[in-house]
């Protein structure tokens, strides 16, 4: 996979900037596919994942459905059947192919889907250049760009799960060797003052609707770990019988452990010495952040460690003034790394960090009007918030106010944890 290049920060015209960002994002999705064989595009390894081909088509469907069709009177769809095949969950748009059966879509072919992308790209580029001063088109296109960046991360995590189910444990791409890992010392806790503070997106930069409105929260004094929990630390939990001791687990978590027969993080093997990665089976780096654990596992580890998970407000307040820097997709490492010796707190990149906060709307939250209101608002139930991005998150996509969310049992995402304590 080619590593991402930073989009140009300034152009001669805002319309050219939007067109350039669009082209960059679309090219990045294709770059993710470069190491793949044709068979890799179609497989669906579980209901929560989607085939690579479907991701490529759905992100094109998004631009077509919400921008091209409403904005261009003479726009001709390439194939009207795609409206049904590649709709994800937008009930207001119409019916859709069932998510667990996306792997059955051997047709349209990969070649057909790539032709569909070219069709959408051609018309989107023309629209962006012709309507360079149209703020509404710019806003919708920016939303579409960030939507596709979300799917770029999903492409990598879904592909990792699919490859892991193959007995050959094939390699997606050899691991880069330019990283110079540090050796994390004992975890230290940084203290933060309490009080009435504000969280939520601020300024004129893009954000999703679930990051708004900015609002006040009451935070008691707290402390956060100065780095992420490592594989070595999590291994201590495993060897101490953590998965056999119900006193550390929420009731639903304990039931899940029993029903799913969990004994270690998702991609660790039974030796507790190796794990599956996008570079194939590799020795576990004890200094790297533990990854691919559920909310239940993160919460149980925190209890075992005599700590807790941070709330999303605590996390955001600690990260608000930090630069967006870390092991993100742009570095091309595609695996959590041990912290550098430069004092990095790993607040951005490596792994998404589970928080203790349920995913609900902020006070005064209003979803976007129309079908786009289904983008975030309809999922505000039975999900938990994660913060900070991962090694598969584009750097231009993440920010301190970003709210990711997943059900508490999921493990195929790059998710880990940071400890918190009361003061």
Query: Mind listing the pLDDT tens digit for each residue in 383-422?
Result: 999 999 999 999 999 999 999 999 999 999 999 999 999 9
Residue 132 confidence class, pLDDT cut points 50, 70, 90: confident
Contacts of 20 (CB under 8 A, 6+ apart): 7, 8, 11
Share of the chain above pLDDT 70, in %: 94
pLDDT digit string (tens) for 306-342? 999 999 999 999 999 999 999 999 999 999 999 876 6
**177 has a pLDDT exceeding 80:** no
Domain for residue 294, yes or no?
Answer: yes
Residue 376 confidence class, pLDDT cut points 50, 70, 90: confident
**249 has a pLDDT exceeding 80:** yes
pLDDT averaged over the chain? 93
Domain for residue 181, yes or no?
Answer: no
Q: Which pLDDT score is estimated for 178?
A: 67
The answer to whether residues 317 and 254 belong to one domain is yes
Rounded mean pLDDT of 19-36?
A: 96
Contacts of 244 (CB under 8 A, 6+ apart): none
The answer to whether residues 265 and 391 belong to one domain is yes
Q: Which pLDDT score is estimated for 183?
A: 77
Q: Which pTM does this prediction carry?
A: 0.94
**257 has a pLDDT exceeding 60:** yes
Q: Report the greatest alpha carbon distance in the chain.
A: 66
Better pLDDT: 224 or 205? 224
Better pLDDT: 203 or 219? 219
The answer to whether residues 114 and 220 belong to one domain is no
Domain for residue 3, yes or no?
Answer: no
Contacts of 109 (CB under 8 A, 6+ apart): none
Residue 5 confidence class, pLDDT cut points 50, 70, 90: very low
Query: How many structural domains compose the chain?
Result: 2
Residue 358 confidence class, pLDDT cut points 50, 70, 90: very high
Specify the pairing of strand 352-358 against strand 280-283. unpaired
The answer to whether residues 300 and 336 belong to one domain is yes
The answer to whether residues 371 and 417 belong to one domain is yes
Domain for residue 34, yes or no?
Answer: yes
pLDDT digit string (tens) for 113-130? 999 999 999 999 999 988
Two structure tokens written together for 200: 């939520």
Beta carbons within 10 angstroms of residue 298's beta carbon: 26
DSSP labels, 202-251: -SSS---GGG-S-EEEEE--EEEESSPPBHHHHHHHHHTTGGG-GGGS-H
pLDDT digit string (tens) for 61-76? 999 999 999 999 999 9
Domain membership of residue 77 as a residue range: 14-164
Contacts of 259 (CB under 8 A, 6+ apart): none
**3 has a pLDDT exceeding 60:** no
The answer to whether residues 140 and 209 belong to one domain is no
Rounded mean pLDDT of 232-258?
A: 98
């Amino acid at each position: 996979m080619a590593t991402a290049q930073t989009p140009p920060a300034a152009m001669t015209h805002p319309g050219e900037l939007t067109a350039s960002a669009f082209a960059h994002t679309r090219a990045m999705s294709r770059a993710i596919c470069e190491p793949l064989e044709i068979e890799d595009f179609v497989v669906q390894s579980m209901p929560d994942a989607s085939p690579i081909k479907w991701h490529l088509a759905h992100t094109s469907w998004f631009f077509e459905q919400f921008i091209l069709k409403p904005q261009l009177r003479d726009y001709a769809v390439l194939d009207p059947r795609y409206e049904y095949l590649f709709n994800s969950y937008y009930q207001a748009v119409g019916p859709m192919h069932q998510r667990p059966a996306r792997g059955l879509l051997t047709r349209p072919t990969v070649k057909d889907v790539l032709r569909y992308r070219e069709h959408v790209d051609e018309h989107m580029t023309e629209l962006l250049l012709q309507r360079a001063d149209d703020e509404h088109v710019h806003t919708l296109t920016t939303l579409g760009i960030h939507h596709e960046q979300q799917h770029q991360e999903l492409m990598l995590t879904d592909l990792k799960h699919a490859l892991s189910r193959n007995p050959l444990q094939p390699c997606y791409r050899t691991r880069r060797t330019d990283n110079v890992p540090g050796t994390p010392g004992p975890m230290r806790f940084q203290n933060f003052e309490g009080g009435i503070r504000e969280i939520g997106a601020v300024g004129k930069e893009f954000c999703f609707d679930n990051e708004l409105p900015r609002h006040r929260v009451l935070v008691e004094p707290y402390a956060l770990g100065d780095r992420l929990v490592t594989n070595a630390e999590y291994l201590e939990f495993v060897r101490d019988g953590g998965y056999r001791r119900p006193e550390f687990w929420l009731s639903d978590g304990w039931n899940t452990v029993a029903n799913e027969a969990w004994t270690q993080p998702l991609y660790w093997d039974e030796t507790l010495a190796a794990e599956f990665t996008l570079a194939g089976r590799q020795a576990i780096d004890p200094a790297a952040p533990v990854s691919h654990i559920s909310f239940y596992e993160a919460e149980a580890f925190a209890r075992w460690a005599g700590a807790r998970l941070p709330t999303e407000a605590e996390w955001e307040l600690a990260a608000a003034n930090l630069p967006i820097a870390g092991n993100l997709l742009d570095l091309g490492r595609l695996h959590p790394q041990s912290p550098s010796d430069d004092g990095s707190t790993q607040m951005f990149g490596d792994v998404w960090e589970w928080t203790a906060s349920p995913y609900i709307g902020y006070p005064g939250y209003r979803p976007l009007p129309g079908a786009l209101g289904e983008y975030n608002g309809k999922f505000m139930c039975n999900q938990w918030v994660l913060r900070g991005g991962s090694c598969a998150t584009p750097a231009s996509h993440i920010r301190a106010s970003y709210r990711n969310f997943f059900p508490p049992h999921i493990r195929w995402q790059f998710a880990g944890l940071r400890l918190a304590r009361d003061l």
